[in-house]
A and B are shown apart, each in its own frame.
Chain A
Amino acid sequence: MPAAVYLDHNATSPLRPAAFDAMVEALRAGGNPSSVHGVGRRARALVDAARRQVAALVGALPAELVFSSGGTEANNMALAGSCRRRVLVSAIEHDSVLKAAPNAEVVPVERSGVIDLAAFERQVMSGEPALVSVMLANNETGVLQPIAEIVRLARKAGALVHCDAVQAAGKVPVDLHGLGVDYLSLSAHKLGGPAGVGALVVRNGVRFRADRRGGGQESNRRAGTENVAGIVGFGVAAEAARAGLAAAALRDRLEQALRSIAPQARVFGAEAERLPNTTCVSMPGVAAATQVMALDLAGVCVSAGAACSSGKVHRSAVLAAMGVSDAEAGSAIRISSGWNSRAEDVDRLIAAWRDLYVRVGQSDIPKSQAA
């Protein structure tokens, strides 16, 4: 039986029931949106409606949206599609940005987890006009980046700006034109839509070269038969997310409670503006892996870092970039709530965390965990 309390929404968020219902209907209806006949045209209409819903979530025009298979593909598309040779990334970007631009120049972040704007300004101004890729909210700490300020500096240098908004969209207001970015990546399954769908928003008039070749789908920007049901689910989830952006009350209560249990517990990025749903917190002296296993046995799902790399045991590059020591980073877990989280869920987490802390945290660190 799966655990009852799920607090790992930054890995994936459960599908919203309204999105599910709409998807099942779309799956039953069938049809290829490129077909000219009625079945195809109805599928096309579903895709168009969803395009409007997702565009509305980020203040974009429907025509600025290119649906993809997810956030990773959207990030890859932006980095390849801008055609800029020089790329600047922050030190805390997702692997789908870092690996897609292996020769990028890395901009450091401050201890708070916020990009070092002075360093950024120096770097972006020296050299040819670059593509800058900075995420709106970090997946591990939830720290928000000053994108509008980054855009202002980037413009002075003639740089284009890509913003990975995968973790931010649906959790805080996102406005393409307010931010002023050129490219914006989105993922459906991080906001209660299905996995396997995302989008790259390309601001009207900005250069974009398609990397995937084939049929002329998505206005020749991304070949391949559209994942109609997935796109429909994305649309419905985006609309629901826009209607009910998360409040930070649960997070603040949680962090207060954990700190009162263990005064040395540290919330990473606490001094910065953060997502209202994300807490990255250490239990001093207790390995993260021990914590997530113990919490799982207690029926609470959290993670020790990003899901894509959580199987492998290596230290968090995000925390390292913030100057956190290996020992402290090794005891950090990520707690992320979402659209279906309730106060009771947080209570159960607090109780389980307290039990664990009382059992092992206060005693001397066992050898197996000190390694």
Chain B
Amino acid sequence: MSVLTQIRRNDQPIYLDYQATTPTDPRVLEAMMPYFIHKFGNPHSRSHSYGWEAEEAVEKARGQVAKLIGADEKEVIFTSGATESNNLAIRGVAEFYKDRKNHIVTTVTEHKCVLDTCRHLEQQGFEVTYLPVQKNGLIDLEALRAAVTDKTVVVSVMAVNNEIGVIQPLAEIGKICREKKTFFHTDAAQAAGKIPLDIEAMNIDLMSISGHKIYGPKGIGALYVRRKPRVRLVPLIVGGGQERGFRSGTLPTPLCVGLGEASEICLKEMDGEAKRLTKLQQRMLKGLQDRLPEIYVNGDLEHRIPGNLNISFAYVEGESLMMGIKSLSVSSGSACTSASLEPSYVLRALGVDEELAHTSLRIGLGRFTTEQEVDTAVDELVRHVNKLREMSPLWEMAQEGIDLKSIEWAAH
């Protein structure tokens, strides 16, 4: 563990934002190193040993990624990240099959890159059904079944939500899609390497994977594309015809190697890590619940990855809390939209009311989080929440038993 503990120096904040990005595992970095320096060839150069060596490394990595999800290596294509994978999967199939089918089903809590891609396709004349989610963040399978028609080209449902960590019932969704003869795409950026995924058992046709969410590097991702029965795509990036024509551009060998190594480590350590993180998650939650009244966990606790908690601290403004606890790196929602102060659309979709949505923090635990860090984080959170509540007139009124919803605020 000596290398692993080098991740954080004592003067640095405690990193609790593993859904935004994960530190690169030192073992991953080590595997990448030679391909930055000595083994720098272009994997598409077929005329010399530098090229062959790079190609071999890329193909090994492809196999490692495939193994993580039970796929064949020929079914994995490298992309620049999960955003590109999601764009390619949804737009790629929609455009390829547009003469026969024109309908897409997704959910309201998808990542922004899925929702924006769907909105773009709506402008192009496709119809999109945005399924609501239940209060626990999971979709209603009967609603899904009812939404899919013979015009539905693809159902895109994320495996694990980036804000609340809930796991959608993938196998059941896959079964419905197979019965209804539509493709099933899942954005597994937050799921791969954390929960077991099996493209056969779950009937998944397309799956997006991100490198930097699984302790690999940024700038690399993958898209699983089923070969039997074959899924066809219109590529988004054309050129040299790399990646079997699905995605042109010189492959970044070290990044591919990093994603491969990260996948292998995740597969090997998934069970142990999940157990360890479950303990930490419970320790954190219990620590907070024991010492703070009126805190609420958003999203299902049972169908959830162990590395996530999303908690509303009533009467405390999330942004102020975040800014107050400088010793912790946490976020108030998705990183991509964190600069905006709008409440999370994911929480609103769960029916969390606006005031509570504003008080929420996303806490991400991961491979390098220690028990001691969890304890320190709990202390810090309790201290700052109490401090902010003491300054809050709303908290004071609530403590006095006044129903805040009954108050008619004067307009000003």
- Who on chain A is nearest to B121 by CB? A213
CB distance from A202 to the nearest CB of B (A): 18
The stretch from B95-103, B329-337, B389-397 touching chain A is B329-337
Instruction: Tell whether A39 pairs with B329 under 8 Å between CB atoms, given A2-B50, A213-B113.
Output: yes
Q: Do the beta carbons of A34 and B336 come within 8 Å of each other?
A: yes
Q: Do the beta carbons of B20 and A292 come within 8 Å of each other?
A: no
The stretch from A147-155, A253-261, A262-270, A297-305 touching chain B is A297-305
Instruction: Provide the residues of chain A in CB contact with B84, threshold 8 Å.
Output: 69, 212, 224
Residues of chain A from 55 to 84 with CB closer than 8 A to chain B in the complex: 68-73, 75-76
Please tell me which one of the listed residues B21, B111, B240 contacts residue A96 in the complex, with CB atoms under 8 A apart.
Answer: B240
> Cβ of A207 < 8 Å from any Cβ of B?
no
> Cβ of A217 < 8 Å from any Cβ of B?
yes
Instruction: Provide the residues of chain B in CB contact with A94, threshold 8 Å.
Output: 239
- Who on chain A is nearest to B45 by CB? A307
- Who on chain B is nearest to A308 by CB? B240
Residues of chain B from 316 to 340 with CB closer than 8 A to chain A in the complex: 322, 326, 328-332, 334-339
Q: Do the beta carbons of B47 and A302 come within 8 Å of each other?
A: yes
The stretch from A108-116, A117-125, A192-200 touching chain B is A192-200
CB distance from A183 to the nearest CB of B (A): 16
> Cβ of B86 < 8 Å from any Cβ of A?
yes
Q: Do the beta carbons of B238 and A96 come within 8 Å of each other?
A: yes
> Cβ of B150 < 8 Å from any Cβ of A?
no
Would you call the interface of chain B mostly helix, strand, loop, or mixed? loop
CB distance from A39 to the nearest CB of B (A): 5
Bound together, the chains give a CA A30 to CA B346 distance in angstroms of 26
Please tell me which one of the listed residues A73, A75, A226, A293 contacts residue B47 in the complex, with CB atoms under 8 A apart.
Answer: A293
Q: Do the beta carbons of A31 and B21 come within 8 Å of each other?
A: yes
Q: Do the beta carbons of A189 and B250 come within 8 Å of each other?
A: yes
Interface size class of A (residues with CB under 8 A): 35 or more
Q: How many residues of B contact A (CB 8 A)?
A: 76
Q: Mark A165-201, 1 if CB is under 8 A from B, else 0.
A: 0000000000000000000000101000011110000
> Cβ of A306 < 8 Å from any Cβ of B?
yes
Residues of chain A from 111 to 150 with CB closer than 8 A to chain B in the complex: none
Residues of chain A from 266 to 290 with CB closer than 8 A to chain B in the complex: 289
Please tell me which one of the listed residues B21, B83, B212 contacts residue A223 in the complex, with CB atoms under 8 A apart.
Answer: B83
Instruction: Provide the residues of chain B in CB contact with A349, threshold 8 Å.
Output: none
Give B residues with C-beta under 8 Å from A.
12-13, 15, 17, 20-24, 29, 33, 36-42, 44-51, 53, 79-84, 86-87, 111-113, 116-117, 119-120, 210, 212, 217-220, 236-242, 248-255, 322, 326, 328-332, 334-339
Q: Do the beta carbons of B116 and A224 come within 8 Å of each other?
A: no
> Cβ of A163 < 8 Å from any Cβ of B?
no
Bound together, the chains give a CA A293 to CA B49 distance in angstroms of 10
Instruction: Tell whether A194 pairs with B241 under 8 Å between CB atoms, given A37-B331, A214-B336, A225-B218.
Output: no
Instruction: Provide the residues of chain A in CB contact with B44, threshold 8 Å.
Output: 11, 307-308, 310-311
Give A residues with C-beta under 8 Å from B.
1-3, 6, 8, 11-12, 14-15, 17, 20, 23-24, 27-28, 30-32, 34-40, 68-73, 75-76, 94-97, 99-100, 187, 189, 194-197, 211-217, 223-230, 289, 292-293, 295-296, 301-304, 306-311
Q: Do the beta carbons of B240 and A72 come within 8 Å of each other?
A: yes
Bound together, the chains give a CA A295 to CA B47 distance in angstroms of 10
Please tell me which one of the listed residues A23, A35, A306 contacts residue B240 in the complex, with CB atoms under 8 A apart.
Answer: A306
Please tell me which one of the listed residues B45, B51, B81, B326 contacts residue A225 in the complex, with CB atoms under 8 A apart.
Answer: B81
Bound together, the chains give a CA A197 to CA B82 distance in angstroms of 16
Instruction: Provide the residues of chain A in CB contact with B48, threshold 8 Å.
Output: 3, 8, 292, 295-296, 301-303
Q: Do the beta carbons of B239 and A27 come within 8 Å of each other?
A: no
Instruction: Provide the residues of chain B in CB contact with A308, threshold 8 Å.
Output: 44, 239-242, 248, 250
12 new A-B contacts at CB < 8 Å, known A99-B241, A225-B212: A27-B217, A36-B322, A69-B219, A96-B249, A195-B255, A196-B255, A215-B335, A224-B82, A227-B220, A230-B219, A304-B47, A311-B46
Q: Which 8 A-B pairs have the closest CB atoms?
A: A227-B219, A214-B113, A308-B240, A196-B252, A215-B336, A96-B239, A69-B80, A224-B83
Instruction: Provide the residues of chain A in CB contact with B40, threshold 8 Å.
Output: 12, 14-15
- Who on chain B is nearest to A305 by CB? B47
Residue in A69, A99, A226 with the greatest tally of chain B CB atoms within 10 Å: A69
Residue in B20, B39, B242 with the greatest tally of chain A CB atoms within 10 Å: B20
